Chains A and B, each alone.
Chain A
Amino acid sequence: MKKSIGLIGSAAIAAIVAASAVADPDDNNLVIEGQSLVSETTAPEGSAFEIIYSGWRFRSPETQVLETDDFENPGMVAVEYGYELWETAAGSSGKSCADCHGAIEESMSGLRAGLPKWDEAAGKPLSLEHLINRSIKEHQGADAWKWESAEMLAMTALIGLQSRGMPLDVQTDGPMADWYERGKELYYARVGQLDMACANCHEDNWGNMIRADHLSQGQINGFPTYRLKWQGLGSIHRRFKGCMKQIRATPYKPGGDEFTALELYVASRGEGLSVETPAVRQ
């Protein structure tokens, strides 16, 4: 071992580690309420992966089953609350979301799969939370919700659910190109006292155990996700923040440009996977 490290160097070692990482996502098929979802597919062009897998495939059978049945899925409580909010009049307009958008099954279908998306007025890509808050403020005439509030999580879960089963597909060219590059930079940037990048775990070591955790590819197709550890739903940006704290880095701000760029880049790494919102994880 010692000799070979000296001789073949770290690139080769990295390659060995990466090769050994092509280990065990399980073979289970994700079927939710009778609908088959794509939890494994050929990686998008230019990807570091050959095959991409939903995080669902790395979880224990006990956790997995919670997502397959909407009565078992603990995230559905928030979805119910989301419906309530959707239909409740609020703000200076005295209107509900439903008053303007009609049936959510139609008006919001497909939205989650393509986020974050370019917004001409803002001059930048917007995440679902940004879009919701803009509509609340500008159209409904009510106060914006906090990023991680119960209302916001309920609404992002409800809207995300309208795209469940649809493949992630985000724009990365045109005005999005710079944001994609920025997100990619962040993905590979070493930060924190532990000096680690997203890629160290989720690209180089997915499939491996890091202490008690089975490292996934870090896909975000199931957000907001119900985490048993959180005992509730959490946003994509909350998850990013948690990872940064774990490596003892100062996290970026949820809703800020950095996390939005990172969200775009990570979403692009999962293109082809089904939206699973609200997913259930450990």
Chain B
Amino acid sequence: MNRTMSLVCGSAQKWTAAITVGALAAASLMGPASAEVGPDDVKIDDGVVAQPIADQPGDAAAGREWASGRKLGNCLACHAISDLSELPFHGEVGPPLDGVADRWSAEELRAILVNSKTVFGDQTIMPAFYRTAGLNKVADDFAGKTILSAQQIEDIIAYLLTLKE
């Protein structure tokens, strides 16, 4: 809590926000809010990204949106998610994400989302959602950009953590 405040105490307004944010973060076990980390600076150790990469804690409701949007995460292209059964056409390329919170921690999910190859190996078909290095022939519109923003990654993690069996 203290750390959170010292990081964001630029103005009274921000200070209040930091308290709320800090409280939310503590409640959702996401750890304190921190500064956004760029795609080249994310540290993945042993299949884990220990610290959040966005400056705001994840918002599960927003994450639910990102996970289903075709132009965003489009997780549904490859994964079935019962919680999103109102949407048609769930893919079967990857395993269903039901109960995924029982299998992975927030820190592990962060590594999977940032760059799944660091967890599943180079052969995986799952795209790296927060990475720009090491890609080839990226279309101009997307060059130098990550598929998802740091905040969207945190939002999706918050959403995935609600998927308990």
Contacts and interface: CB of A to CB of B under 8 A. Distances in A.
A10 B118 CA distance: 10
A211 B77 contact: yes
Contacts of A244: 137
A244 B147 CA distance: 16
Interface in B126-149: 127-128, 135-142, 145, 147
Given A10-B121, A14-B123, A248-B142, A192 B137 contact: yes
B127 A196 contact: yes
B76 to A, nearest CB: 6
Contacts of B104: 2
26 contacts: A1-B95, A1-B103, A2-B104, A11-B123, A17-B125, A189-B136, A190-B135, A192-B137, A192-B138, A193-B138, A193-B147, A195-B127, A196-B125, A201-B125, A208-B91, A208-B93, A209-B91, A209-B92, A210-B91, A211-B70, A211-B89, A211-B91, A212-B88, A215-B93, A249-B138, A249-B139
Interface of A: 1-2, 5, 9-11, 13-14, 17, 189-196, 200-201, 204-205, 208-212, 215, 244-245, 248-250
A257 B138 CA distance: 19
B92 A249 contact: no
Contact of B137 (A5, A215, A249): A249
B62 interface: no
A2 B103 CA distance: 6
A1 B108 CA distance: 13
B19 interface: no
Minimum-distance CB pairs A-B, first 7: A10-B121, A212-B89, A193-B142, A191-B137, A200-B125, A2-B103, A211-B77
B44 to A, nearest CB: 15
A17 B88 CA distance: 23
B122 interface: yes
Given A10-B121, A193-B147, A194-B147, A210 B78 contact: yes
